[in-house]
Structure 1
Amino acid sequence: MLSVHYIQKGLLFTKPASGDYCEQNLINNVLVRLKRSLSITLVHFYPLAGRFATKIEQNPKSHFVCVDCNNSPGAKFIHAAVDMSVYDIVSPTYVPLVVQAFFDHDRAINYEGHTRPLLSIQVTELIDEVFIGCSMNHVIADGTTFWHFFNTFSPVLERWFPEGNNGPLLILPFTHQDEFITRFETPHVLERILHFSAESIAKLKEKANTESNTTKTRRLPCEIVTRCTLAINNRSRLEPPLSPNYFANSFQTVTAMTTAGELLEHGLGWAAWKLNQAVVNHTDKSVRGFVKDWLQSPFVYQSSPHLYARSLIIGSSPRFNMYGNEFGLGKALTLRSGYGNKFDGKISPYPGRE
């Protein structure tokens, strides 16, 4: 994950009522509490306070990346303000671009964790709300770890390696970062938040199970291959399973593939079955097989926006506890994310507030 973007997610909260205190004192009080909470949490999630360090060998050709927690200025805490209201953020049909400014590490790739913080918390004051955004390096954390941190529980920091490999996994056959780091600017795309009730989800599932029609929005030629790729958590797939609180980047992707013509011919229920099979087949054997193959032939994942333009990739998860931490501000109003890892065809499902 060295060549892709940081994870960027955040929550929008209502500002505390002023009462007998001036607003600035209230905000300062919130900031003091958040800084203290962050400091305590980092005692448990200490790798996030580090920086990447690299050791390069010429013979054999190798590029070894690790987390250095000793020679590091630590995580970053930012306080910002913008003259906007919650209405400006949630009422437009498409998510306004200003939301990207609510996060640190805009457009940064994970390899920049050598000089940038692996974790940044940005508190942005709006006229009537407070947005708490978190940017976390995707090399050492996945969505499960991200929300585990955000909800401030102590993690499990025991290391896990496959059989026959007792050392760090991230040893790459390169002697310079230019051999495996790429950057891409996503063409301008519109981002929209769609809300589904529990009843709507139930109806959609029923349609999938009764072979409903498939959306034809992109109007792809029948012979074009299209994919649906899902991010999938490895923790529960391993035997024995890893702890749900395992602190790491422990996920892969699974893919269902077909032609546009075949997809439209068979319908939505058939497509749902294809995805179900991809998930069912992601077993302990397939996870360990992937790791074994990676050790024999290491590679760095590269984003391919041109590929996604005729496919779908689904990240995040509605199973993550995204509203579990109130920060003393009550339950969050809604969730938004930054620029990172977005392109035509990307879908991020989140749980609803209720």
Structure 2
Amino acid sequence: MASHPAVRHISRCSINPDYFSEESKQTFHLTPWDISMLSAHYIQKGLLFPKPPPATNDNGPSITIIDHLKDSLSRTLFHFLPLAGQLVTHKHEDPPSYSISISLDCKNTPGVEFIHAVADVTTSDILSPIDVPPIVQSFFPLDKAVNHDGHTLPLLAVQVTEILDGIFIACSLNHVVGDGVSYWNFFNSWAEICRTVQGKQDHISRPPILRRWFLDGHGPIINLPFSHHDEFIDRYQPPVVLRERFFHFSPQSVRMLKAKVNAECNTSTISSFQALSALVWRCVTRARRHLPNDRKTSFRFTIDNRSRLSPPLSSHYFGHCVQAGNASATIGELLNHGIGWAALLLHEAVKGHTDSKVRKWLEVWMKSPFIYQLEDFFDPCNVRMGGSCRFDMYGCDFGWGMAEAVRSGSGNKFDGKVFSYPGRQGGSVELEVCLLPESMSVLESDPEFMDAVSPSQIGD
């Protein structure tokens, strides 16, 4: 995607950990969860902050802010060393083998790319339009890069864009290196160090656990059944133009939705997330007119494996550690039953994601390794939910207060992709919905869906 003409790059540099022994060289091996993401896009998330207060020195606030962000990023990378490395493929002829790992060598490390940019737009220009404006995509580096590109591109790139009344901090993180939990742990740790008085020891609240977890008897080196990356990399791009829009759900709306589905099912165990997901699944499916009732539709959502394993992994585990949960029905079944019926399907899918299921997936993968392809996710009957309302996005305080909003880049988006985020108000939820224009128009006229959307925030 071409850069928006209103965004101008001022400078570009590489940031490395503030301390790393010149003699040191480290290898971080990859798990099946990591490797399976090689053909997907980077994670692209960013936060929009109000304009930081003016600095008191003679260098000017712009220079002070940017330099301080660079310095604190370097100090943060000391804790997150894999982000400064690069992917390396290891091939051997006798016996034949093909494996991929993260290599960190301070003498040759690419470091983290840091871009300083400016844009003559305001916060209102970004947040007021009903649809996400195209300029937002230009706030994110490494657009359309797939994770395997981490062999030649940085594993993490940061772009700080100063706008007229604010500042947007965006990160593009290689999805092989980490998942959403890892991403927001890094982002929060950077913010924590940034707001710490310089010179104090850089303790962080959630130090990452960098050692990768492997199934007993497997790893740390996984031999893949490939001889060249062309065998598993597909740079698929959706052949359609999508509309992308945020919908806001107040704490009261979320509570009412949860109460409704639990009452329909005569239970109290269905969660807010499952209730909201059921609403999205039904309403998006209904908005896709002309789909036959006998076609199968699926709702796929991300499940964090850390807490599912026995014993569980720490929430500080740094890596890709998620799998997809899945609920399916025919379109006729989904639309002819109530929302509680759909929510119960999702509840059972979450309940069934146990330690044994996680381990079975890993055992099957080890026998027949595969790489997810973006084209496989694109199905006109399915909905896929990413992100999480539990991520501490609005806790990322760089010393300027709470962010105004979260936004995402173009990575991993297709018709039917939905991202969930916590709202600024505790207990509220924001959903970023990506749909074909005609389907979005129908969704915007769906009474069941729009009645749940917070009226005061429609179009904000």
> Aligning the two structures, in what range does the TM-score lie when normalised by the shorter sequence?
over 0.9
In the other structure, the counterpart of 1:351 is 422
In the other structure, the counterpart of 1:46 is 81
In the other structure, the counterpart of 1:5 is 41
In the other structure, the counterpart of 2:366 is 295
* CA distance, structure 2, for counterparts of residue 141 and residue 330 of structure 1: 26
Structure 2 counterpart of 1:182, from 212, 234, 248: 234
In the other structure, the counterpart of 2:7 is none
Structure 1 counterpart of 2:116, from 74, 79, 92: 79
The correspondence of residues 54-93 of structure 1 with structure 2, limited to 5 A, is: 54-58=89-93, 61-70=96-105, 71-93=108-130
* CA distance, structure 1, for counterparts of residue 180 and residue 308 of structure 2: 16
Question: 1:174: how far off?
Answer: 0.4
In the other structure, the counterpart of 1:272 is 343
In the other structure, the counterpart of 1:18 is 54
Cα RMSD (Å): 1.8
1:100 aligns with 2:137: yes
Q: Structure 1: which amino acid aligns with 2:349? A: A
Q: Is the 8 A contact 2:55 2:64 kept in 1?
A: no
Q: Is the 8 A contact 1:308 1:343 kept in 2?
A: no
Q: Is the 8 A contact 1:41 1:154 kept in 2?
A: no
* CA distance, structure 1, for counterparts of residue 116 and residue 224 of structure 2: 37
Q: Is the 8 A contact 2:55 2:61 kept in 1?
A: no
In the other structure, the counterpart of 1:237 is 308
In the other structure, the counterpart of 2:175 is 138
* CA distance, structure 2, for counterparts of residue 305 and residue 88 of structure 1: 35
In the other structure, the counterpart of 2:273 is none
SS state of the match for residue 69, structure 1?
Answer: strand
Structure 1 counterpart of 2:257, from 200, 204, 210: 204
Question: 1:259: how far off?
Answer: 0.6
In the other structure, the counterpart of 1:172 is 224
Q: Percent of aligned positions with the same letter in both sequences?
A: 48
Question: 1:19: how far off?
Answer: 7.5
Question: 1:58: how far off?
Answer: 4.6
The gaps in structure 1 that reach 5 residues or longer are: none
Structure 2 counterpart of 1:27, from 62, 78, 81: 62
* CA distance, structure 1, for counterparts of residue 382 and residue 122 of structure 2: 35
Q: Is the 8 A contact 1:14 1:329 kept in 2?
A: yes
SS state of the match for residue 121, structure 2?
Answer: coil
* CA distance, structure 2, for counterparts of residue 224 and residue 304 of structure 1: 19
Q: TM-score scaled by structure 2?
A: 0.74
SS state of the match for residue 294, structure 1?
Answer: helix
Q: How many corresponding residue pairs?
A: 352
Q: 1:292 to 1:88 in 2, by over 3 A?
A: same
Q: Is the 8 A contact 2:156 2:172 kept in 1?
A: yes
* CA distance, structure 2, for counterparts of residue 283 and residue 25 of structure 1: 54
Q: Is the 8 A contact 1:58 1:175 kept in 2?
A: no
1:120 aligns with 2:157: yes
Deviation string for 1:177-222 (max 9, x for gaps)?
A: 1100001122210100111110011122223234499432113210
Question: 1:17: how far off?
Answer: 3.3
Question: 1:106: how far off?
Answer: 0.4
Q: Structure 2: which amino acid aligns with 1:242? A: L
